[in-house]
């Protein structure tokens, strides 16, 4: 038996976890985290292992093959890790009934709208009205996909939203369809969670609507968003350490400013086809 050291010196943000194979194609180790390979990790292998292949078992499916050789300590310390921004090749719509699925994983579908005050005065954002058509495709016995075999639903839509401006944020809003013919269930909303607030949306006259939001940011001198390691997008993740989702009976600060941004997210399903048309807001001029 002998010990080999594998150290990752270059990868993209979506690489990992990794599997390790020998020259015969035998799986030696599986699901090795990228973080452990960045600092360097030792593995005990058989003496006849002379070549190892490091294969990305995640979404990118990259691999690299290296010969086993002698490595000195200074070589391990000198080879620092570099993050690359080269994207891997995505294969999309292999199954055209899955609309935001990549390599078997459901990825977020995100659309963001921005609104500016046309009068130049600060306005209070009161509600959001969205015209989106949500289609579900029906199963049939045919082997070919039938685009006409679909229905437009009333209770399928985005499952998350974030409403914000430069200094205020609604935090993460979880959107659920308004319970029908169940007043007791409807009165249980909003639900205050540790890192989100669950509110209801309605659909009427083909418009989706919701309005139960206010500013939950604690400190306007701290960021409302943080960067994510999962993509190149900036201010993608709500800075939960600066959000307070507790129930507020009186001090519910409205979202007030000269502009507002509304981000809608679908990340809990992949079998709904959302066709976003346009979005409207109900505003009230705010006088100081």
The predicted-structure confidence for 232-244, as pLDDT tens digits, reads as follows: 566 678 999 999 9
pLDDT at 59 over 80: no
* Whether residues 210 and 116 fall in one domain: yes
Show which of 83, 117, 132 is a domain's final residue: 83
* Whether residues 198 and 277 fall in one domain: yes
What mean pLDDT is predicted for residues 133-160? 81
- Residue 16 counted as domain residue: yes
- Residue 163 counted as domain residue: yes
* Whether residues 27 and 151 fall in one domain: no
Range of the domain at 57: 2-83
Higher pLDDT, 141 or 67: 67
14-40 burial, b at 16+ Cβ within 10 Å, e below that, comes to: bbbebbbbbeeeeebbeebebeebbeb
* Whether residues 250 and 186 fall in one domain: yes
Tell me the pTM: 0.69
Can you give the length of the chain in residues? 288
Among 56-65, 211-220, 250-259, the minimum mean pLDDT is found in 56-65
* Whether residues 140 and 189 fall in one domain: yes
Show which of 15, 50, 83 is a domain's final residue: 83
> What is the chain's Cα-based Rg?
25
* Whether residues 155 and 224 fall in one domain: yes
* Whether residues 74 and 115 fall in one domain: no
* Whether residues 271 and 209 fall in one domain: yes
pLDDT at 104 over 90: no
- Residue 277 counted as domain residue: yes
- Residue 127 counted as domain residue: yes
Query: What is the tally of structural domains in the chain?
Result: 2
- Residue 100 counted as domain residue: no
Share of the chain above pLDDT 70, in %: 85
Q: Which residues contact 74 (CB under 8 A, 6 or more apart)?
A: none
* Whether residues 70 and 142 fall in one domain: no
Q: Which residues contact 154 (CB under 8 A, 6 or more apart)?
A: 177, 203
* Whether residues 79 and 109 fall in one domain: no
Nearest Cα residue to 105 out of 126, 91, 117, 86:
91
* Whether residues 73 and 159 fall in one domain: no
Q: Beta strand pairing status for 173-177 and 197-204?
A: parallel
- Residue 89 counted as domain residue: no
Higher pLDDT, 54 or 96: 54
When pLDDT is cut at 50, 70 and 90, the band that residue 3 belongs to is: confident
- Residue 174 counted as domain residue: yes
pLDDT at 140 over 70: no
**118/138 Cα distance (integer angstroms):** 44
């Amino acid at each position: 038996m002998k010990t080999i050291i594998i150290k990752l010196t270059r990868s993209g943000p979506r690489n990992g976890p990794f599997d390790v194979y020998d020259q015969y194609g035998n799986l030696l180790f599986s699901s090795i985290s990228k973080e452990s390979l960045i600092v360097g990790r030792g593995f005990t292998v058989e003496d006849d292992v002379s070549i190892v292949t490091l294969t990305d078992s995640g979404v990118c499916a990259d691999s690299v093959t290296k010969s086993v050789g002698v490595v000195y300590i200074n070589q391990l310390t000198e080879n620092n890790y570099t993050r690359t921004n080269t994207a891997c090749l995505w294969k999309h719509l292999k199954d055209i009934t899955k609309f935001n699925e990549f390599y078997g994983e459901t990825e977020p579908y995100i659309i963001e709208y921005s609104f500016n005050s046309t009068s130049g005065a600060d306005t209070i954002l009161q509600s959001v009205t969205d015209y989106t058509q949500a289609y579900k495709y029906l199963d049939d016995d045919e082997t070919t996909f039938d685009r006409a075999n679909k229905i437009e639903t009333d209770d399928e839509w985005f499952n998350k939203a974030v409403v914000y401006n430069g200094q205020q944020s609604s935090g993460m809003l979880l959107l659920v369809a308004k319970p029908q013919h169940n007043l007791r269930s409807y009165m249980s909303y909003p639900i205050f969670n540790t890192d989100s607030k669950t509110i209801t949306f309605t659909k009427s006259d083909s418009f989706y609507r919701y309005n139960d939001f206010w500013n939950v940011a604690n400190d306007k001198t701290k960021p409302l968003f943080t960067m994510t390691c999962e993509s190149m997008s900036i201010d993608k993740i709500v800075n939960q350490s600066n959000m307070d989702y507790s129930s507020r009976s009186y001090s519910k600060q409205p979202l007030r400013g000269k502009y507002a941004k509304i981000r809608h997210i679908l990340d809990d399903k992949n079998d709904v086809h959302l066709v976003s048309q346009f979005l409207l807001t109900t505003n009230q001029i705010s006088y100081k």
